[in-house]
Amino acid sequence: MYGKLAKQAAEYLVKSGNILPFPGVLLPDLRRQRACYVSIIENPGRRLRSMSGSVLPQTPNLAAEIIHNTSNALSACRITRPDLPNLRYSVALLGTLQRISDPSHLNPSLYGLYVTSDRGKSALLLPNRAGIETADDQIATALREAGILTRYESYSLYRFDVSYDDA
């Protein structure tokens, strides 16, 4: 259902040049406020074309969040009508952030990681990222992507679970 909404939003935007109108009747799950990431993946080859999202919800409900993130993902890459049949849409639904104090609380195949510094730098990694096999790998990658210099900045770690829906 979530991936299908992302697909509808993408196809509507590419074909009409407009943002998908907000659905009038929403299923209860789509009425809740929830953070998500939308990925646009090209087949064959499963090449990531674009991704957009945030660690905290930016809109009043999940339907609006999916439409918003799909629009942002499309604005970051050039997709045309002929591309549409070769695209797949994945929506990663983020669970609640849980502050952790030790790498032993992480499992990179189960949990995403959000890291933020006292200087406002941050990064988010979804679970099962290629090349990340240990909690230490996950933390090092997040710190590097955020540009956090551990010698000069303190930082906090948060884990979250993720569920996916594809279309």
Residues in the chain: 167
Same domain, 65 and 51: yes
Question: Does 167 map to a domain?
Answer: no
Same domain, 79 and 108: no
Q: What is the CATH number of the domain that holds 117?
A: 3.30.1490.150
Same domain, 12 and 49: yes
Beta-strand (E) ranges in the chain?
A: 36-42, 47-53, 87-94, 98-100, 111-117, 122-125, 155-166
CA distance 54 to 56: 5
Beta-strand relationship, 111-117 and 122-125: antiparallel
pTM of the model: 0.89
Q: What is the pLDDT of residues 111-156, one digit of tens each?
A: 999 999 999 999 999 999 889 999 999 999 999 999 999 999 999 9
- What mean pLDDT, rounded, does the chain reach? 94
Q: What is the CATH number of the domain that holds 72?
A: 3.30.700.20
Choose one of 63, 94, 125: the last residue of a domain. Answer: 94
Q: What is the pLDDT of residues 18-43, one digit of tens each?
A: 999 987 778 888 999 999 999 999 98
Q: What is the pLDDT of residues 157-167, one digit of tens each?
A: 999 999 998 98
Same domain, 58 and 6: yes
Q: Which domain holds residue 111?
A: 98-162
Q: What's the structural domain count of the chain?
A: 2
Same domain, 77 and 44: yes
Structure-block tokens of residue 71: 């629009």
Same domain, 57 and 127: no
Same domain, 103 and 132: yes
Phi, psi at 15, each rounded to 5°: -80, -35
Question: Does 13 map to a domain?
Answer: yes
